[in-house]
Chain A
Amino acid sequence: MTGHTLTAGPEARVRAAVAAVPDPELRVLSIGELGVLRDVTVGPGGRVVVTITPTYLGCPALEVIRSGITAAARDAGFPDVEIVTSLSPPWTTDWLDETARAKLAATGIAPPPPAAPDPAGGVPRAGAASPEGAASPEGAAEATGVPPRARALPLLTISPRPPYLPGCPRCGGAATEEITRAGATACRSLWRCRACGEPFEHMKGH
């Protein structure tokens, strides 16, 4: 083998193996890219402690992710694995890097909105209008063709995120419309492109 693999220690190897475990619901992304994986440490005797954070409290994929991590660590030569679930700070789509967003788009899923400017990580605050939300939602709605009903949404201060229109991941068209906010999984909504007419999924900002 090459010197490269020799210099990469066993800790780096198990980290890479665990980070590469695919997310069961978005298989194009690994748990490392998704931000579900928070930490991997190797303790005395080769005991691996993996810290993960759930995307949603009731995320049914978590059990599959746990078994994926155990298998990946075992295959990398570390059969003794402890998996810790951490809720703080809460997972956010802001943790998806550019590579992850590009992968999503390539598979036909419009990526979530760009990271919020709030460095705290986007915990919603009731009554606190976010900077984007304050930037004339009415005007934005007129320009982008949000259905009239949706325009009433900023009335509610408990809005999950400012209105966001994902571009079409197939043709790149900007004129898109929401078909249903609850898609195949809790984290995705269903949209249609008004240019190419194709439906597509969008990973919601969270």
Chain B
Amino acid sequence: MNEPTAPPAGPDAAGDPGARGFTVPGSAGPGFVTRGSGARGLLAEEPGLPGYVLGLGDDALVAAQRVAEWCARAPQLEEDVALANIALDLLGQARALLSYAGELEGLGRDEDALAYTRDERDFRNVQLVELPDRDFAVTVAKMLFFGAYQHLLYTALSSSADPRLAGIAAKAAKETAYHTDHAVTWTLRLGDGTAESHRRMQAAVDEVWPFTHELFEPFPPVPGTVDPAGLRGAWLEPVERVLREATLRRPEDGWAPTGGRRGTHTEAFGHLLAELQYVHRTHPGARW
């Protein structure tokens, strides 16, 4: 993972809200030169509350998309239902947060415009949520680490000075408690299960752990926000306890890939977005 370079922010980066941020490939104009510039808007460069809310919304949206990939493929029927419900919760969080981010931006972009018409470099989600779930154990590890992080952050944000964000966070905190609880039951079951399930759960924990550091990257102090940097201690304590109980080894801290919050993403992310956005981009403005 390279250190990200800031995407160019031209004077026309504000985009054209009337076009719902959709740039026709090959058309003349800045959209051709700067990838997705029509969809960039102010949010991507915004270090304040709008950018903060966008980051949380993108986290939830991308996590929802990944979890939903298990629909009809989960290892058990019950798990199929559970994961689909968790994905639905995350999608609900994404809708509330992206709607709010769009309103804060003030360019007329709604939740759909933000979800479907931005390019990779305009997404502000952490890389952890976009990692491909090559094994069910990876899904469990991601849900444990990300769910516990989300729960702590949302709980802290539920007393935010920003009433809109506080309202969303208070609701979402309750949902993420269930997601984390679900991940804990699976971590224990797989970690302290058979030799094979233990091996794969440990491999998943080792694979995902480096990406947990980005969750706690400092965010500049902005009224209404909570700096996640202060939450790692509160996160480590229960996570380490669960890993220990599941007879899993807590990985060493070392490599700490980063850049998602500034628009640098992993190779897998483009493929995820292609699937997420294909229909909307093929039929822009379609309604039913």
Q: Name A residues whose Cβ lies closer than 8 Å to a Cβ of B.
A: 54, 56-60, 86-92, 122-127, 149-150, 152-153, 155-160, 179-186, 190, 204, 206
Overall SS of chain B's interface: helix
Instruction: Tell me if B135 is interfacial: C-beta within 8 Å of chain A.
Output: no
* Chain B nearest Cβ from A123, distance in angstroms: 6
Structural contact, B93 and A57, CB atoms closer than 8 A: yes
B185 to chain A, nearest CB (A): 7
Asked whether B163 is an interface residue with its Cβ less than 8 Å from the other chain, the reply is yes
Residues of B participating in the A interface, judged by any CB pair closer than 8 Å: 78-79, 81-82, 85-86, 88-93, 95-96, 147-148, 151-152, 155, 158, 163, 166-168, 170-175, 177-178, 180-182, 184-185, 188-189, 234, 237-238, 241-242, 245
Minimum-distance CB pairs A-B, first 7: A58-B92, A182-B82, A57-B92, A87-B167, A160-B177, A186-B85, A180-B78
Nearest opposing residue in chain B for A123, CB measure = B170
The answer to whether B85 touches A182, judged by C-beta atoms less than 8 angstroms apart, is yes
B277 CB to nearest A CB, Å? 19
Which of B82, B89, B188, B237 sits near A58, CB closer than 8 Å? Answer: B89
CA distance A99 to B151 in the complex (A): 32
Contact call B189/A149, Cβ cutoff below 8 A: yes
Q: Can you name the residue of chain A whose Cβ is closest to the Cβ of B76?
A: A180
Cβ–Cβ < 8 Å partners of A184 in chain B: 81
In the complex, the answer to whether A58 meets B241 with C-beta atoms within 8 Å is: no
Collect the chain A residues with CB atoms within 8 Å of residue B189's CB: 149
**Set B86, B91, B92, B174: member contacting A124, Cβ < 8 A:** B174
Given contacts A149-B189, A160-B177, contact A60 B184 (CB under 8 A): no
User: Quick check: A158 and B177 within 8 Å, CB to CB?
Assistant: yes
Q: A88-B166, A152-B188 are in contact. Are A124 and B177 (CB under 8 A)?
A: yes
In the complex, what distance in Å separates the CA atom of A160 from the CA atom of B148? 11
Q: Which residue of B lies closest to A157 (CB)?
A: B238
Complex Cα spacing A147 to B133, Å: 29
Contact partner of B170 (CB less than 8 A), chosen from A54, A60, A88, A152, is A88
Apart from A88-B170, A149-B189, A158-B238: 12 A-B pairs, beta carbons within 8 A? A57-B95, A58-B93, A86-B167, A90-B174, A123-B174, A153-B184, A156-B180, A158-B180, A181-B182, A182-B81, A184-B81, A186-B89
- The complex places the Cα of A184 from the Cα of B78 at a distance, in Å, of 9
Which B residue's beta carbon lies closest to that of A92?
B174
CA distance A127 to B170 in the complex (A): 16
In the complex, A159→B174 CA distance in Å? 10
Task: List, in ascending order, chain A residues with CB within 8 A of B170's CB.
Answer: 87-90, 123
Contacts of B238 in A (CB 8 A): 155-158
Output the nearest chain A residue to B178 by Cβ-Cβ distance.
A160
Q: Looking at the complex, which one of B91, B163, B182, B184 makes contact with A182 (CB distance below 8 Å)?
A: B182
Q: Which residues of A contact B81 (CB under 8 A)?
A: 180, 182-184
A94 vs B161: C-alpha distance when bound (angstroms) = 26
CB distance from A47 to the nearest CB of B (A): 24
Q: How far is the CA of A140 from the CA of B132 in the complex (A)?
A: 40
Complex contact A153–B174 (CB within 8 A): no
Q: Are A87 and B171 in contact (CB under 8 A)?
A: yes
Of the residues A54, A124, A156, contact of B184 by C-beta under 8 Å: A156
List chain B residues, Cβ under 8 A from A86.
167
Q: Report A-chain residues with C-beta under 8 Å of the C-beta of B148.
A: 158
Residues of chain B contacted by A59 (CB below 8 angstroms): 92
Nearest residue in B to A206 (C-beta to C-beta)? B174
Q: What are the residues of chain B within 8 A of A90 when measuring CB–CB?
A: 167, 170-171, 174
Measured CB to CB, the closest approach of chain B to A146, in angstroms, equals 12
B185 pairs with A149, CB closer than 8 A: yes
In the assembled complex, the Cα of A180 lies from the Cα of B186 at a distance in Å of 12
Q: Which residues of B contact A190 (CB under 8 A)?
A: 78
21 contacts between A and B (CB under 8 A): A56-B89, A57-B96, A58-B88, A58-B90, A86-B167, A87-B168, A88-B166, A90-B170, A90-B174, A122-B174, A155-B242, A155-B245, A157-B238, A158-B148, A158-B151, A158-B152, A160-B177, A180-B81, A185-B85, A186-B86, A186-B178
Q: A152-B188, A181-B185, A186-B89 are in contact. Are A88 and B167 (CB under 8 A)?
A: yes
List, in ascending order, chain A residues with CB within 8 A of B152's CB. Answer: 126, 158
Task: Collect the chain A residues with CB atoms within 8 Å of residue B175's CB.
Answer: 56-57
